[in-house]
Amino acid sequence: MIVDYQNDFNPGGALAVPEGDRIAAHINSLAADPRFDVVVATRDWHPPGHGSFTEQGGVWPVHCLQDSDGAELAPGLDRAGIDVVVDKGQDPGTDGYSGFDGTNLAELLRERGIDSLTVVGLATDYCVKHTAIEAAGEGFGVRVERAGVRGVDVEAGDSERAIEEMRAAGVEIS
């Protein structure tokens, strides 16, 4: 599962994750690995006026607006390895951090016989964390590859705290 590897979260984007572009090669190698039956990519896909935006009282600048270039998967990502794209964060009243929040992701995975996930993407301390923890709560085996994630680290240590939260929720960290 590739979480939110989008233009707005890469250098030059509205909410760039430091060194977010440095994980593309690792993500692409995993997506091409025959061990994985299905490769899912999630996208933040916010409507105008989303509640997470500072102009609406949220904490983030406007980012990943539906149908904008910023919301598209980043060009460093090899789309040939992606089987399904799941849009999330469409409800203006929720943060929409998790790929499972308000989507059919759990059903999609179960229909395809998937029982365990390897999670990579952006950002460790927000959408990766929430997606991994919710996946574990849904009964999936979950592993997060540190080489394939980067965090925002609004406050120093946020990503490391997120790693510990995921570990405490039963997520394997490798």
Show which residues are catalytic: 4, 88, 127
Q: Tell me the Ramachandran region of residue 127: left when phi exceeds 0, alpha when psi lies from -120 to 50, beta otherwise.
A: alpha
- Strands 141-150 and 84-88: what pairing? unpaired
Residues linked to residue 41 through DSSP beta bridges, in sequence order:
2, 85
Q: What is the DSSP letter of 128?
A: I
Q: Are 145 and 151 in contact (CB under 8 A)?
A: no
DSSP string computed for 25-53: HHHHHHHT-TT-S--EEEEE-BPTT-TTB
Structure tokens of 148? 């394939």
- Contact (Cβ atoms closer than 8 angstroms) between residue 8 and residue 15: yes
